[in-house]
Amino acid sequence: MEKENNCNCELEKYKITLDFLKFEATTLWQIFSAFMVGHVILIGFISTALLKNGIADINFILLLITGLIGLSLSFLWFGTFHGNSNWYYYRMEKQAKKAEELFVNHIGDKNWFLLNKDAEKHSRNNSFISNRSAGYCMISIFIIIYISVICLALCKLNCNC
């Protein structure tokens, strides 16, 4: 009877931990998506200004301001993504996997794993690039675009090249 109560307790801890893990994953990608939408709109504004008006008719002060705003938002995006993804991986590595292991040890079925063992191996072996690395790459691309826009605007404002 006590073993069954302990098993139910471990199962409940495991369920709660998985719920927190899902919440962290959802929060991480919702914040990422919100920043992504903002940057796509900003890049759309810059692209429209460059393509519609032609390089000669662009307000380079406005372009510089837009590039600086975009770069600032990119660093905010990088910071929130870094912090939230670290928190998510903490939940995954330190809490969910540990809770799963404790639960599996209580039920005695060493083959029953969702997050550990074969699941980890499968994830590592079947990913070209991790979600985290892809997120950093995407943010870096926006940073490069904004730095290019800032350099173009400064060049046109200072030396008219």
Read off the pLDDT of residues 60-117 as tens digits, 9 standing for 90 and up. 898 899 999 999 999 999 999 999 888 887 877 777 777 777 777 676 666 666 666 6
* pTM for the whole structure: 0.77
Query: Phi first, then psi: what are they for 160, rounded to 5°?
Result: 55, 40
Q: What is the DSSP string of 53-104?
A: H-GGG--HHHHHHHHHHHHHHHHHHHHHHHHHHHHHHHIIIIIIHHHHHHHH
Give tens-digit pLDDT for 15-36.
787 888 888 888 889 999 999 9
Q: Using alpha carbons, select from 103, 80, 71, 104 the residue that is nearest to residue 32.
A: 80
- With both helix axes pointing from N to C terminus, report the angle between 131-158 and 60-90 in degrees, rounded to the nearest 10: 160
For residue 119, what pLDDT is reported? 60
Q: What is the residue extent of each domain of the chain?
A: 2-158
